[in-house]
A and B are shown apart, each in its own frame.
Chain A
Amino acid sequence: MNLIPDVALAENTSQRLPCVVVLDGSSSMAANNAIGALNDGLKLLEQDLKADDVARQRVRILVLRVGAPQNVEVVTDWVDAIEFEAPEIEANGTTPLGAGVRRALDEIETEKARYRDHGIPYNRPWLFVLTDGEPTDPDWESAADECRRAEESGRVSVFCVGVGEANMSKLGRFSPRQPLALQGLAFREFFLWLSRSARAGSKSSPSENIQMAAPSDWAVVPGRAG
Chain B
Amino acid sequence: MTAAPAWRVAGTSVAGPCHANDDCQDRHLVQVTPGGVLIALVSDGAGSAKFSGDGAALLCEHVGDALVRLLGRSKPKAVATEALGEAVKAGIEAAREAALALGAEREAGLEAFHATLVGAVMIPGKGGLFFHIGDGAALAVSPASERWLLSPPSNGEYADTTYFFTEHDWRENLRFSPIEPGYETIFVMTDGVTDLGLQGAQPHMPFFDPIGRFLAGASREEGQLALRATLDSEAARGRSGDDKTLVWAQAAR
Cross-chain contact B192 with A5 (CB below 8 angstroms): no
A210 to B161: give the CA distance in the assembly, Å.
10
Which A residue sits closest to B198, measured CB to CB? A10
Contact string, B229-241, partner A, CB cutoff 8 A, digits 1/0?
A: 1100101100111
**Do A207 and B116 contact each other (CB < 8 Å), given the known contacts A5-B214, A123-B158?**
yes
Q: How far is the CB of B156 from the nearest CB of chain A, in Å?
A: 9
Q: How far is the CB of A170 from the nearest CB of chain B, in Å?
A: 29
Identify which of A26-34, A67-75, A89-97, A197-205 touches chain B.
A197-205
Q: How far is the CB of A204 from the nearest CB of chain B, in Å?
A: 5
Pick from A1, A5, A208: contact of B48, CB under 8 Å: A208
Cross-chain contact A7 with B159 (CB below 8 angstroms): no
Cross-chain contact A209 with B48 (CB below 8 angstroms): yes
Contact string, B85-119, partner A, CB cutoff 8 A, digits 1/0?
A: 00000000000000000000000000000101000
Cross-chain contact A9 with B159 (CB below 8 angstroms): no
Identify which of B66-74, B180-188, B204-212 touches chain A.
B204-212
Which A residue sits closest to B46, measured CB to CB? A207
A149 at the interface (CB under 8 A from B): no
B191 at the interface (CB under 8 A from A): yes
Q: How far is the CB of A14 from the nearest CB of chain B, in Å?
A: 9
**Do A7 and B199 contact each other (CB < 8 Å), given the known contacts A123-B159, A208-B18?**
no
CB neighbours (8 Å) of B214 from chain A are: 4-5
Cross-chain contact B46 with A209 (CB below 8 angstroms): yes
Cross-chain contact A123 with B226 (CB below 8 angstroms): no
B155 at the interface (CB under 8 A from A): yes
B225 at the interface (CB under 8 A from A): yes
B residues 135-161 near A (Cβ < 8 Å) are 135, 153, 155, 157-161
A123 to B240: give the CA distance in the assembly, Å.
16
What is the size category of the interface that chain B forms with chain A?
A: 35 or more
B54 at the interface (CB under 8 A from A): no
Cross-chain contact B47 with A209 (CB below 8 angstroms): yes
Pick from B158, B196, B225, B228: contact of A122, CB under 8 Å: B158
A225 at the interface (CB under 8 A from B): no
B227 at the interface (CB under 8 A from A): yes
CB neighbours (8 Å) of A8 from chain B are: 204, 206-207, 210
Pick from B18, B153, B211: contact of A7, CB under 8 Å: B211
Pick from B25, B135, B191, B236: contact of A9, CB under 8 Å: B236
**Do A9 and B207 contact each other (CB < 8 Å), given the known contacts A122-B158, A209-B48, A210-B48?**
yes
CB neighbours (8 Å) of B190 from chain A are: 207
Cross-chain contact A7 with B191 (CB below 8 angstroms): no
Cross-chain contact B191 with A205 (CB below 8 angstroms): yes
Cross-chain contact A208 with B46 (CB below 8 angstroms): yes
A191 to B135: give the CA distance in the assembly, Å.
33
Cross-chain contact B210 with A209 (CB below 8 angstroms): no
B residues 34-70 near A (Cβ < 8 Å) are 44-48, 52
Cross-chain contact A9 with B235 (CB below 8 angstroms): yes
Contact string, A181-215, partner B, CB cutoff 8 A, digits 1/0?
A: 00000000000000000000101111111110000
Which A residue sits closest to B214, measured CB to CB? A4
CB neighbours (8 Å) of A138 from chain B are: none
Q: How far is the CB of A44 from the nearest CB of chain B, in Å?
A: 25
Cross-chain contact B160 with A124 (CB below 8 angstroms): yes
A1 to B230: give the CA distance in the assembly, Å.
9
Pick from B160, B197, B228: contact of A206, CB under 8 Å: B160
Cross-chain contact B230 with A207 (CB below 8 angstroms): no
CB neighbours (8 Å) of B242 from chain A are: 205, 207-208
Which A residue sits closest to B26, measured CB to CB? A207
Which B residue sits closest to A5, measured CB to CB? B210
Cross-chain contact A12 with B199 (CB below 8 angstroms): yes
B81 at the interface (CB under 8 A from A): no
Cross-chain contact B47 with A208 (CB below 8 angstroms): yes
Which B residue sits closest to A120, measured CB to CB? B159
A residues 1-49 near B (Cβ < 8 Å) are 1-12, 15, 17
Residues of B within 8 A of A (CB): 18, 25, 44-48, 52, 114, 116, 134-135, 153, 155, 157-162, 190-192, 195-200, 204, 206-207, 210-211, 214-215, 225-230, 233, 235-236, 239-243
11 A-B pairs with CB atoms under 8 Å apart are A3-B233, A6-B206, A8-B206, A9-B196, A9-B207, A9-B239, A11-B199, A15-B160, A205-B191, A206-B135, A210-B48
Residues of A within 8 A of B (CB): 1-12, 15, 17, 119, 121-124, 154, 201, 203-211
